[in-house]
Amino acid sequence: MALPDDEFEYFFDKPWSDGLPVVIPTEERIADMLAGASRDPEEFIGNVPPANEPANVRSVAIHAVMAGCKSDYLPAVIAGLEAVLAESFNMGGVQATMHSAAPLMIFNGPHGKEIGLHGASGCFGPGFRANATIGRALRLMLMNQGAGIPGVVSMSTFGQPSRYTYCIRENEEDSPWETLAETRGCAAGDNAVTVVACENPKLVFDDMSSDPEHLLAAPADAMSYLGSMNALRRSDLVVAISPDHAKICDSAGWSKADVHQYLCEKAGKTLGELKTGGGFTEERIKDLPINVDLGDDSFFVPTIKDPKDLMIIVAGGIPGPISAVMHGWNGASRPVTRTFEA
């Protein structure tokens, strides 16, 4: 088929774009992309909700081309799509919500490093092709095959910048601890992706604390603000600890499990504080998977209702006295970790 006079405007007009120009997926480019994964192009991956258009390896390759991926990124793109299509992730709900949550992809293992996925300085920002285009490929599929178009199916009140792309690699090289994938049951050295529906990062600055308890007080506070999904619901939450902050904890003898336990215990509000706003109702408190004394305003309600809901990673660069908190959507979506072959 001959290309239109202005192929870029053609893709905008369809609309088959996320609002930015796309790389035109010619047959030659699609074939080159498919060479990046030893998978049958017709292999069915899944139906992309809520439109439930079927995705196969070839359609993933088409969107990877459009996003600007290199061919060796394709296994990561496929793995990301497979993860968000898991029933427990509830991609249809994430697509349609009034909230702004987006699928955050966190990669572990050698393949991410080999293809240039970045987890150090500036990892959530621009400048890293693998991060930018792998996340963008997923978003294009969610829009073009899942109909996640703002104001049509996606009813997000504001959206968020990470709905363009939300993809990083954990900074394994500068971490003193086991990886996220390992804490979620994968073997050391596995190529894995974990997907979590969450908000943009909220930064927590501390360049003075020298012991873990003082250092982690600020992330615990950031985890528990009124109006967050985590305050009154069971919801996932990701804390990205910078290498500098992780070093302070490790030097004091704190393991990742120690940090995890401290944040689970420290982050939260009293019942009286929750009653002051943020969508409080007694019914929401009664629905929590914990017992709360509704007659005691001093009762402490933890932000993390189930320890499995809190994920800790090491990310960001050196120097960096800053960590980040990413609040989740709600209990209707659960994080998914998948291993994959590169």
Per-residue pLDDT of the chain (342 residues; tens, 9 = 90+): 556 678 889 899 888 999 999 999 999 999 999 999 999 999 999 999 999 999 999 999 999 999 999 999 999 999 999 999 999 999 999 999 999 999 999 999 999 999 999 999 999 999 999 999 999 999 999 999 999 999 999 999 999 999 999 999 999 999 999 999 999 999 999 999 999 999 999 999 999 999 999 999 999 999 999 999 999 999 999 999 999 999 999 999 999 999 999 999 999 999 999 999 999 999 999 999 999 999 999 999 999 999 999 999 999 999 999 999 999 998 899 999 999 999
For the chain, the straight-line distance linking the first and the last C-alpha, in angstroms and rounded, comes to 33
Burial code (b: 16+ CB inside 10 Å, e: under 16) for 193-214 equals bbbbbbbbbeebebeeeeebee
Tell me how far apart the alpha carbons of residues 224 and 234 are, in angstroms, rounded to a whole number.
Answer: 12
Tracing tokens 């302070």 back to the chain, one arrives at 248
The predicted pLDDT at position 198 comes to 97
Question: How confident is the model over 17-43, as pLDDT tens digits?
Answer: 999 999 999 999 999 999 999 999 999
In the chain, where the domains are located: 7-267+303-339
Alpha-carbon span 270 to 31, nearest angstrom: 58
